[in-house]
Amino acid sequence: MNRILLALIIFQGRQAFAQQLCEVTQDETGRIISTCTIYNQSQVSGAVPFPSHAQRKYLGTRYLTYPTWGKGKIQIDPGSPEIPCELAFDMVSSDLLCKLNGELTANHIAPYMFEVDGMRYYRQNTLLAGQKAAHIYTNLLHTGPTQLLLSMQKVLLVESVPTNGYTKVNEFAGTFALKKNYFVQKGDARPELIALTKSALLKVLFEQADALAKFIRTETLTVDEVARVIMYYDELNAEANKTKPALNAEPVFTQFLHDNIVYPSQGWQNQLYARVYVGFDVNSAGRLKNITLLSPTNVGYGFDLAVTQGLGKYLKLKPTYAGSYVLPVAFTLTNLKDRQAAYTPINKLDESRLGNRTVLEELVVPVTIKKSVEKPREIWGYYN
């Protein structure tokens, strides 16, 4: 049996002070049950406070383990010593409680890593998609240049109370349900939420989408199959990066470009596609400077602004990438009414206009529409 003080809730207006004390037990059938007694001290404006209490039973537990407290260890920072600790991890709020050296008092902590029951959980420093807690911990399901992460949380599904007088009332006021989210993380880039499907992986692993589309044979995948896809992706990337500029192998930068350079609405609404070349410098501090349009200006359609403004949002690169670069961007358009492959721009910038810049691998920004209008056309513009 585990007893733990869960919450203190304060409401305004009609003031209510509630403490919820829960016992977590296991019945003869193996079910984990949380029995919570809620103690209220309520006060209507001008009245004397009066105590009250109610009991609620929930199927399952909000905590990672049963019993709630388990022997484990924590690591405050990467590379720091691992410290033995008795742990309780609240999977609803992502709060981690620790009791050191048999102490009775528990402390709220947010270490780099904690381990319990042989499983390690690592803190993510950025808020992940679909997550609300301040500290999110993930399991490493696959390690390498590209990692597969699992985030597990619990949500309380509250049972509705019948009002017709005939429906049998459930013995539980709610159920703690486990929710799993999977993420792919390329190097130090922000983890990206995925479903365990072919289409989701091709979207995230876009650099090798053509080869992976042939490699993945089914739409729905298991965790092990996703791990094998990621391994193959890393192999393809390692080979491709041998001939790429170093900046193209920086996952944080490539992910940023993919997320922030989008197809302009003026372009796809008019069924236009284009190629844009933008030059920029990276100074010794890693800052992007002198972002300049090198290709002809596409006045009124937004292709050039989509690249220059998107690139201008980037904050800082590693100083080792200092130099002058050219970023080619191909905006490709597919019209489902045509029943044809994507329209890809054919115009290219003359080498004389590139200067002594390192030409990066072309970024492809696709869009798919379904419009019954004239045939799409490429826009190239003119030089100022």
CATH architecture of 248-378: 2-Layer Sandwich (3.30)
Q: How confident is the model at residue 376 (pLDDT cuts 50, 70, 90)?
A: confident
What mean pLDDT do residues 343-359 have? 92
| Residue 314: pLDDT over 50 | yes
Residues 138/122, Cβ–Cβ less than 8 Å = yes
**pLDDT of 35-58, one tens digit each?**
988 776 554 455 555 556 788 899
| Residue 336: pLDDT over 90 | no
Q: How confident is the model at residue 343 (pLDDT cuts 50, 70, 90)?
A: very high
Does the global pTM surpass 0.95? Answer: no
Residue 129: left (phi > 0), alpha (psi -120 to 50), or beta? beta
**pLDDT of 131-168, one tens digit each?**
555 578 999 999 999 999 999 999 999 876 565 656 56
Task: Using alpha carbons, select from 237, 234, 134, 128 the residue that is nearest to residue 183.
Answer: 128
| Residue 4: pLDDT over 60 | no
| Residue 9: pLDDT over 50 | no
Q: How confident is the model at residue 341 (pLDDT cuts 50, 70, 90)?
A: confident
Task: Using alpha carbons, select from 258, 252, 132 the residue that is nearest to residue 191.
Answer: 252
**pLDDT of 54-73, one tens digit each?**
888 999 999 999 999 999 99
Query: By percentage, how much of the chain surpasses pLDDT 90?
Result: 67
